[in-house]
A and B are shown apart, each in its own frame.
Chain A
Amino acid sequence: MTHPIRRSSLNVATLAMIWRRVGVLVALALVVAVASFLSHRFLTVPNLLNVLRQVAIVGILALGMTFVILTRGIDLSVGSILGISVVLYAGLLENHGMLVAIPLGVCAAMAAGLVNGVGISYAGIPPFIMTLGMLSFARGLAFIYTGGTPIPILNESFYDLGNGYLLGIPIPSLILISVLVASGIVLSLTPFGRSIYAIGSNEDAARLSGVPVRFYKTLVYVISGGVSGLAGLVYASQLSIGTPIAGQGYELDAIAAVVVGGTSLFGGKGSVVGTFLGTLIIGVLANILNLTGVDPFVQQLFKGALIVLAVFIMTRSNRA
């Protein structure tokens, strides 16, 4: 006697799942609709490309953060790691050129992530504490490296990375989209990605199933660090200056984008596509508030309210 799978039945769990999948999309559509109603300048190609460029840095950070949060961790150090990479790019470009500066900057960022990962996975330090420590430590390194004074960047081809266009699309946006595609593939199509979800869902069960939990958890922080280095590339290029305060507070924007994008802080649920949409929602909101001339101080209130509202809706739909 066999019981074939019935595909037609719609239960509460699948409804919740559908909400998680398309709810963020619906929210984005809503924000876009309201935005285009409020300003005729919003729904124009230059403005939309502008939004896509403006969200690039936080968007890239948020994609790396998604890996971490899926394992039920948190990475508070992404802003500081970005800062380290920025001062390294600035410091190395002058004498060594891009081919040395970029790999070294990214490697340094990954190394910081590796320290996070080892501390968390092997020494058992809680992610919050370990990355809080790195937040301070990496920022300190950035200050020491520069001696406190920003290093100007004069390299012209490096300038294009943050400000140029390729096929009419801003290069930072192309980097963002490349990272999105790559991380999407890794998370949904590789054993590593699958295991990330398993670790976040129930770490003990994952370990007993033979998942190399400690190694993979370490890897997740290396990814988050490396991705922060990529975001630093865009940052350094856009500002043309290697300032040691680069990226201060960005970790919170990245976490906000992940959360608005529907990834659960309790692990095991979420996607990088959601994070990308979450990034866009926050970006579009900032954009329309700018276009309509809302006081930047007041804009902060909107962002704060949005984050809380998003999580409220999500917990509601989960309980359903």
Chain B
Amino acid sequence: MSNSSDQAATGGDATALLEVRGLRKSFSGNVVLSDVDLAVLAGEVHAIVGENGAGKSTLIKVLAGVYQPDAGQLFREGRELRLSSPRAAFEHGIVVIHQELSLAPHLSAGENIFLGHYPTTRLGTIHRARMHRRTRELLDTLGISIDQRQPVGELSIAQQQMVEIAKAISLDAKVLILDEPTAVLDEPMVKTLFALLERLKRRGIGLVFISHHLEEIFRVADRVTVLRDGVRTGLSAVRDITQDWLVAKMIGREFPPHQVQVRSSGKPALEVEGLCVRGAFEDVSFSVRQGEIVGLAGLVGAGRSEVAQAIVGITRPSAGSIKVFGRVARIANSNAAARLGIAYVTEDRKAFGLLPNRAVRENATISNLARFRRFGFLKRGEEKAYVQRLIERLDVRLSSMEAEIRTLSGGNQQKVLIGRALAVEPKILIFDEPTRGVDIGAKREIYAFIEELVAGGVAIVLISSEMEEILRLSDRVVVMRRGRVAATLSHGEANENSIMRAAALAGESA
């Protein structure tokens, strides 16, 4: 079946709105895209799917003129192009709608749409009446119903997306690239967005649609291109394929077999029951024993970090209970969590982790200064000795523990923050994307360290978007999807296929 659709794809060279052939791109010797072909036809939704790191975002950036390809050709309606900048792509009618929208929140829809080319009166002031009229016309033809005078910041995310799309259309965009537009939308909003995509199709716009939610591909896309490790592994009309076909094309590679040895775990350390934070997640239940790692898998935005934040008291749950060593705990803040022996290593080092312009020493001990206090004063000597031991234990590489932490590499920063969590001597440790922005070497060391901790009886929750990380470390895997637990997989059941299905497919629970 894929043969016939391949032909359909290559048959339409001249009619393709946008086409790339033999695209290759590498970063410092690391090949990210090799020999990738893609054709976007007028009036189609062309989905691109692939795991994290498959090359989707690099491909988009090449199409948007952000990256220059190392090799390959790019055609716009049959004419070869070079896109030297995002500006050039834009002038050729190629517009990317990013997940983070680029609207001015205090301006109205009309003011945003005509930003930079306002209709003016003879006096040089903005011709409001004409701007409103043209905005109305545009929104009407696209079937977008919003109050165009309201500041866009007060509109829902979906409506803001639509304003951004309308803006692109008003600037004569012919190819719209939607980078995970549904990641931040709930189901009714997704429906409205898809209806808009249908109308855009009828206008002859070519749409490129990126999504991690595979069932959406079947709802909205006409054709799909699958990427894996920078190579196109599949291209087909959507009506000809099944979800199994997609998953198979996405995964393809063999993973090292899931750890054979099962850790012998102790008594339950953390039990979460029916936990709920309004607007973030619902009815989440799982438990972690001493000396056990439970992986929390799922797509970005599935609500995993929010669960962690509720457990450590950053947000307050609206329902459900948390038990720590068998006792119901009400955790009001990080201090309370620390007293119960719970520590959290954040996924967002910059926003919630680092004290950027303070010394490594201060960063490492801020979570438990009481430890070095005698008669109200800090014992510097003890603190230094402690940090020195920590640096050796975690193998942090630095010039001096007095260096500002922002001068360290991502991996070393992360090790210091892990050290900070250890300062409270946690019995339950929640790692949120512990190896994000960390180089391979440091990654391996962090894995080894996590294993060392768990061997010492610490209960660990591991939130990760990296399949390999989850499979390599976890004893059990809880998969979340859109704010709910989609599956709880035992050691034997957890593999890339079962996790991917639970995380990305609606109505399927393993």
Binding-face segment, B167-175, B192-200, B395-403: B395-403
Instruction: Decide yes or no whether A197 CB sits under 8 A from chain B.
Output: yes
In the complex, the answer to whether A204 meets B352 with C-beta atoms within 8 Å is: yes
Digit string of B322-334 for contact with A (CB within 8 Å is 1, else 0)?
A: 0000000000011
**Nearest A residue (CB) for B369:** A191
Digit string of B353-376 for contact with A (CB within 8 Å is 1, else 0)?
A: 111111000100011111001001
Instruction: Decide yes or no whether A3 CB sits under 8 A from chain B.
Output: yes
**Cα–Cα distance between A3 and B399 once the two chains are bound (Å):** 10
Partner of B351, one of A11, A190, A204: A204
Among residues 129 to 184 in chain A, which have CB atoms less than 8 Å away from a CB atom of chain B? none
Given A5-B388, A189-B378, A204-B351, the answer on whether A209 and B420 have CB atoms closer than 8 Å is: yes
In the complex, the answer to whether A198 meets B366 with C-beta atoms within 8 Å is: yes
**Cα–Cα distance between A21 and B404 once the two chains are bound (Å):** 14
Instruction: Decide yes or no whether A2 CB sits under 8 A from chain B.
Output: yes
Partner of A14, one of B368, B401, B403: B403
Q: Count A interface residues, CB 8 Å.
A: 32
Digit string of A251-270 for contact with B (CB within 8 Å is 1, else 0)?
A: 00000000000001000110
**Nearest A residue (CB) for B404:** A13
In the complex, the answer to whether A191 meets B370 with C-beta atoms within 8 Å is: yes
Residues of B within 8 A of A268 (CB): 355, 357-358
| Minimum CB–CB distance for A254 against chain B, Å | 23
In the complex, the answer to whether B378 meets A211 with C-beta atoms within 8 Å is: no
In the complex, the answer to whether A13 meets B398 with C-beta atoms within 8 Å is: no
Partner of A191, one of B333, B353, B373, B392: B373
**Nearest B residue (CB) for A191:** B369
In the complex, the answer to whether A194 meets B373 with C-beta atoms within 8 Å is: no
Q: Count B interface residues, CB 8 Å.
A: 43
In the complex, the answer to whether A3 meets B397 with C-beta atoms within 8 Å is: yes
| Minimum CB–CB distance for A145 against chain B, Å | 37
Instruction: Decide yes or no whether A210 CB sits under 8 A from chain B.
Output: yes
| Minimum CB–CB distance for A153 against chain B, Å | 37
**Nearest B residue (CB) for A11:** B399
In the complex, the answer to whether B334 meets A207 with C-beta atoms within 8 Å is: yes
Digit string of B369-396 for contact with A (CB within 8 Å is 1, else 0)?
A: 1100100111010000000100110011
Given A190-B377, A209-B366, the answer on whether A2 and B404 have CB atoms closer than 8 Å is: no
In the complex, the answer to whether B355 meets A206 with C-beta atoms within 8 Å is: yes
In the complex, the answer to whether B338 meets A210 with C-beta atoms within 8 Å is: yes
In the complex, the answer to whether A194 meets B314 with C-beta atoms within 8 Å is: no
Digit string of A2-43 for contact with B (CB within 8 Å is 1, else 0)?
A: 110111010101100100000000000000000000000000
In the complex, the answer to whether B355 meets A205 with C-beta atoms within 8 Å is: yes
**Nearest A residue (CB) for B424:** A210
| Minimum CB–CB distance for A223 against chain B, Å | 16
**Cα–Cα distance between A50 and B106 once the two chains are bound (Å):** 55
In the complex, the answer to whether A202 meets B314 with C-beta atoms within 8 Å is: no
Instruction: Decide yes or no whether B498 CB sits under 8 A from chain A.
Output: no
Among residues 407 to 463 in chain B, which have CB atoms less than 8 Å away from a CB atom of chain A? 407, 420, 424
Instruction: Decide yes or no whether B290 CB sits under 8 A from chain A.
Output: no
Given A11-B407, A191-B373, the answer on whether A1 and B395 have CB atoms closer than 8 Å is: yes
| Minimum CB–CB distance for A318 against chain B, Å | 9
**Nearest A residue (CB) for B348:** A204
Partner of A5, one of B362, B398, B424: B398
In the complex, the answer to whether A198 meets B399 with C-beta atoms within 8 Å is: no
**Nearest B residue (CB) for A212:** B335
Instruction: Decide yes or no whether A287 CB sits under 8 A from chain B.
Output: no
Residues of A within 8 A of B404 (CB): 13, 17
| Minimum CB–CB distance for A177 against chain B, Å | 20
Residues of B within 8 A of A202 (CB): 352-356
Residues of A within 8 A of B344 (CB): 208
Given A13-B404, A204-B352, A268-B357, the answer on whether A5 and B367 have CB atoms closer than 8 Å is: no
Given A14-B400, A198-B366, the answer on whether A210 and B378 have CB atoms closer than 8 Å is: no
Instruction: Point out residues on A near B: beta carbons under 8 Å.
Output: 1-3, 5-7, 9, 11, 13-14, 17, 189-191, 194-195, 197-198, 201-202, 204-212, 264, 268-269
Instruction: Point out residues on B near A: beta carbons under 8 Å.
Output: 312, 314, 333-335, 338, 344, 346, 351-358, 362, 366-370, 373, 376-378, 380, 388, 391-392, 395-404, 407, 420, 424
18 contacts between A and B (CB under 8 A): A3-B392, A5-B401, A9-B400, A11-B407, A14-B399, A14-B400, A17-B404, A190-B377, A190-B378, A195-B366, A201-B358, A205-B352, A206-B366, A209-B334, A209-B367, A210-B424, A211-B366, A268-B355
Q: Which 7 pairs across A and B sit closest by C-beta, in order of nearness? A: A201-B355, A191-B369, A210-B335, A209-B367, A9-B399, A13-B407, A209-B366
Other contacts beyond A14-B403, A190-B376, A201-B356: 6, CB < 8 A: A13-B403, A194-B378, A205-B351, A208-B312, A210-B368, A268-B358
